[in-house]
Amino acid sequence: MNDIQPITLPGIDPRRPLVIAGPCSAETEEQVLGTARSLAAEGIRICRAGLWKPRTKPGGFEGVGEAGIAWLQRVKRETGMYTSTEVATREHVATALKGGVDLLWIGARTAANPFAMQEIADALRGTDVPVLVKNPVSPDLELWIGAIERIYNAGIRRIGAIHRGFTSIDKSLYRNHPMWAIPIELHRRLPRLPIFCDPSHIGGKRELIAPLSQQAMDLGFDGLIIEAHCSPDCAWSDKAQQVTPEALAYIIRNLVIRDESITTESLTELRSQIDKLDDQLLELLSRRMRVSRDIGQYKKEHNMPVLQTQRYEELLARRAGQAGQMGMDREFMRTVLQAIHEESIRQQMEVLGK
What HEC string does the chain produce? CCCCECCCCCCCCCCCCEEEEECCECCCHHHHHHHHHHHHHCCCCEEECECCCCCCCCCCCCCCCCHHHHHHHHHHHHHCCEEEEECCCHHHHHHHHHCCCCEEEECHHHHCCHHHHHHHHHHHCCCCCCEEEECCCCCCHHHHHHHHHHHHHCCCCEEEEEECCECCCCCCCCCCECCCHHHHHHHHHCCCCCEEECHHHHHCCHHHHHHHHHHHHHCCCCEEEEEECCCHHHCCCCHHHCECHHHHHHHHHCCCCCCCCCCCHHHHHHHHHHHHHHHHHHHHHHHHHHHHHHHHHHHHHCCCCCCCHHHHHHHHHHHHHHHHHCCCCHHHHHHHHHHHHHHHHHHHHHHHCC
Q: At what angle do helices 309-325 and 330-352 cross, to 10 degrees?
A: 150
Q: How far apart are CA 46 and CA 18, in angstroms?
A: 9
Q: What is the CATH number of the domain that holds 342?
A: 1.20.59.10
Provide the residue type at 341 as one letter: H
Angle value at C-alpha 25, between 24 and 26, nearest 5 degrees: 130
Kindly state whether residues 182 and 88 are assigned to the same domain.
Answer: yes
Q: Does residue 342 lie in a domain region?
A: yes
Q: How far apart are CA 205 and CA 167, in angstroms?
A: 15
C-beta of residue 215 within 8 angstroms of C-beta of residue 203? no
- Tell me whether the omega of the peptide bond preceding residue 183 falls within 30 degrees of 0, making it cis: no
Kindly state whether residues 163 and 286 are assigned to the same domain.
Answer: no
Name the β-bridge partners of 104: 85, 131
Q: How far apart are CA 197 and CA 182, in angstroms?
A: 12
Phi and psi angles of residue 58, each rounded to the nearest 5 degrees, phi first: -70, 155
Note the pLDDT of residue 266. 65
Note the pLDDT of residue 276. 84
Q: How far apart are CA 249 and CA 240, in angstroms?
A: 18
Give the pLDDT confidence of 210-220 residue by residue, as tens digits: 999 999 999 99
Q: Does residue 297 lie in a domain region?
A: yes
Kindly state whether residues 125 and 35 are assigned to the same domain.
Answer: yes
Nearest Cα residue to 51 out of 103, 96, 15: 96
Q: Does residue 188 lie in a domain region?
A: yes
Note the pLDDT of residue 264. 59
Kindly state whether residues 224 and 327 are assigned to the same domain.
Answer: no
Please tell me the pTM assigned to this model. Answer: 0.79
C-beta of residue 47 within 8 angstroms of C-beta of residue 254? no
For 338, the domain range is 265-352
Kindly state whether residues 152 and 23 are assigned to the same domain.
Answer: yes
Note the pLDDT of residue 260. 62
The parts of the chain modelled with pLDDT lower than 50 are none
Distance between start and end Cα atoms, the chain? 45
Q: Does residue 11 lie in a domain region?
A: no
Q: How far apart are CA 133 and CA 160, in angstroms?
A: 6
Kindly state whether residues 235 and 295 are assigned to the same domain.
Answer: no
Number of separate domains in the chain: 2
Note the pLDDT of residue 271. 80
Kindly state whether residues 222 and 304 are assigned to the same domain.
Answer: no
Domain boundary among 212, 229, 253: 253
Q: How far apart are CA 240 and CA 262, in angstroms?
A: 38
